[in-house]
Amino acid sequence: MAKLISAAAVASLCCCALFVCLLAGGQAAEAGGGGYYYRSPLENTIRGLVEKAIKDDSRVGPALVRLLFHDCWVYGCDGSVLLDWTPYDLYNTEKNASNNIGLNGFDLIDRIKLVVGDQASCANILAYAARDAASILSNGNIDYPVPGDLKDGVRSSPAYADAELPGSTFSFAQLKANFAKKEFSVEDLVILSGAHSVGVCHDSSFADRLNPQVAADGEINPRYQFALALYVKRQRDANPTVQNNIRDMDAFSQLVAGYYAGGAKGVLDNSYYQANLDKKVLLKSDWELTQDKDAAKKLVEYRDNATDWNIDFANALARLSDLRPAKDEYPYPLESCDGSVLLDEAPADGGNTEKKAAKSIGLGGFDLIDRIKARLAAAGDDASCADILAFAARDATNILSGGRIRYAVHRGRGDGVTSSADAALPAPAASSFAELEESFAARGFGKGDLSALSGAHAVGVCHGSSFADRLRPSVAAAYQINGTYQLALVARRQKLLLQQTASDTTTTTAEMMVNNNVRDMDPAFRAASSYSGVGVDTAATGALDNSYYTANLQNMVLLKSDWELTQDKDTLARLVAYRDDAAKWSKDFGEAMERLSNLRPPVGVRLEIRKNCRLTNLSPGQAVCVVISIGCNARCLA
């Protein structure tokens, strides 16, 4: 496609609450029925490592069960909770979410990854380890199968985690809605809450429960509340932890709380339900279960039947372990916003980068990106080149449109380390409409996006090689280009040839550059082409507006791909709509540009933050830095 110049050139480059408490404490059969599922050698290796870790530190087991919930409940079971760094959000990952306070078990997952390597994804390692922890903590009463095809995600947002995970102060209605969103029922809510029979919880998650008014309102047992207050006061930490289950507290606290049931400490069993029915639970979200008749009925049922809870808890964890990321989480399998077009050379491609592609002829704006990078680096800002390009293109769009086009751009892109001339821009100027539609669809864009984004041809210039095919008389005879417009283009080419001949230089059609928009041509050219500027501000040369649609509907556009838009009835209707409604086009163009700016590389792509936008951080021939490499935390190995 044609390229824009100056500012236009830059534009074209482009839980919880439920599990908020830290759960850290202490052949085939029906799930949870005391049987033991067949495990592959890989799974047996992982189980052995989990057993040793729990033996060394009893807090690890409950931590793994909680970690699974906090992973799967956000994006799906993709290991995103394990990440310290991502190319999109840098160090601002799910680990920083308020609802994820006290998460643990990361070191064990990393150790297992080092042992099993590529035999299992980090997401699968976590799912296997949590299953084994549940089995060990329940003395073998809880067991279930785990899918072996979980993949690792590359996004990890604390804001999204806090939005998805249920909070410790949620009402029953909020808890019910939160679980329904994941297609889990009220029964599932009650079942999974039983995980609070083990582990510990931070004071900040239940501080609201220590208010005397809460006991006065009958929401917590007064003696239990007093025991909690005494326990917290005795601790030296600013945000101390308390055992989720009163069964696991020290003898003095149990005496103060009036607890005499006893029981084996640190066991994952149905003891939580007795404690909840006695109003001796830490979280408001736990007490809320007693306020719904159906949930309260289930509390009684699981208190009275440990086997039923074992089976149902195992089945619920099996379903939890199979929560998958949304199908559109990574919808763009091809090119994406990774700054690869800026590279002069790359380790895998040498100097044969996207800049050398025939379809990239005339790209500009590289020097400006370099200057911005240097200015930011001097100020201590390590913004990626891909981010700089996205922001610069957004600003250029806003300036060229006189402020009419605005859209959001967020930081967090990584810089690609590959750039191939053969892979750039799959839709050439001579594409048919079917090819254009297919190219856009491959990136999750529809006909409407194709129509809206083509409006960028209101500005910029185009090289003669991109529209030489349009100068043949047969094209005008087929009504694929306005005949007088074609003649004006041919005349302009002849004029340039004569000028160059007189100066003893040679100009070919390929070297001729013409403004994309007939509006931006000189008055003599517009008159020769019989251009009608009705409804167009012909004095607004270089403005990014809807004037492209007026030109296209007059058959006065340079590229065959532009003309092809008129050959589909749906797209033709959009051309007319955008010609007649400038505000609608500005809005739709802005929305399409925002989505374009958010195209992301697929899972597993190698990224970095370049020091020089024209070169990767490694010279050609060296090993490429792999972003996700050590353990299951994002790390970069030189």
Nearest of 131, 132, 141, 174 to residue 32 by alpha carbon: 141
- Tell me if 465 sits within 8 A of 359, measured CB to CB: no
Q: Is 163 exposed, middle or buried (CB count within 10 Å of its CB: 0-12, 13-18, 19+)? A: exposed
Read off φ and ψ for residue 462, nearest 5 degrees. Answer: -135, 140
Which DSSP letter does residue 594 get? H
Provide the total of helices (H) and of strands (E) in the chain, helices listed first: 27, 6
Let me know if 70 is a catalytic residue: yes
DSSP track, 474-519 = HHHHTTSS-HHHHHHHHHHHHHHHHHHHHTT----GGG-EEESSGG
Which pair of tokens denotes residue 537? 């501000």
**To the nearest 5 percent, what fractions of the chain are helix, strand and coil?**
50, 5, 45
- Tell me if 87 sits within 8 A of 385, measured CB to CB: no
Q: Is 627 annotated as a binding residue?
A: no
Q: How far apart are CA 244 and CA 266, in angstroms?
A: 10
Q: Is 216 exposed, middle or buried (CB count within 10 Å of its CB: 0-12, 13-18, 19+)? A: exposed
Q: Is 62 annotated as a binding residue?
A: no
Residue among 70, 202, 457, 463 flagged as catalytic: 70
Q: How far apart are CA 206 and CA 208, in angstroms?
A: 5
CB atoms within 10 A of CB 384: 25
Q: How far apart are CA 272 and CA 548, in angstroms?
A: 68
Which pair of tokens denotes residue 154? 């590359």
Q: Is 94 annotated as a binding residue?
A: yes
- Tell me if 413 sits within 8 A of 339, measured CB to CB: yes
Q: Is 629 annotated as a binding residue?
A: no
Nearest of 341, 344, 434, 330 to residue 386 by alpha carbon: 341
Tell me how far apart the terminal alpha carbons of the chain are, to the nearest angstrom: 38
- Tell me if 166 sits within 8 A of 203, measured CB to CB: no
Q: Is 138 annotated as a binding residue?
A: no
- Tell me if 71 sits within 8 A of 19, measured CB to CB: no
Q: Is 196 annotated as a binding residue?
A: yes
Q: Where are the beta strands (DSSP E) in 424-466?
A: 461-463
Q: Is 76 annotated as a binding residue?
A: yes
- Tell me if 133 sits within 8 A of 125, measured CB to CB: no
CB atoms within 10 A of CB 586: 23
- Tell me if 79 sits within 8 A of 126, measured CB to CB: yes
H or E segment and range at residue 242:
strand 241-243
Q: Is 71 annotated as a binding residue?
A: yes
Task: Measure Cα distances from 604 to 154, 349, 475, 486, 595 in Å.
Answer: 8, 19, 45, 48, 21
Q: Is 74 annotated as a binding residue?
A: yes
- Tell me if 537 sits within 8 A of 454, measured CB to CB: no
Q: Is 62 exposed, middle or buried (CB count within 10 Å of its CB: 0-12, 13-18, 19+)? A: buried
* Chain centroid, CA 124 distance in Å: 20
- Tell me if 443 sits within 8 A of 599, measured CB to CB: yes
Q: Classify strands 461-463 and 241-243 as parallel, antiparallel or unpaired.
A: unpaired
- Tell me if 282 sits within 8 A of 245, measured CB to CB: no
Total residue length of the chain: 638
Binding-site residue set: 71, 74, 76, 78, 80, 94, 166, 196, 250, 269
Binding-site residue set for Ca(2+): 71, 74, 76, 78, 80, 94, 250, 269
Binding-site residue set for heme b: 196
Binding-site residue set for substrate: 166
Catalytic residues: 70
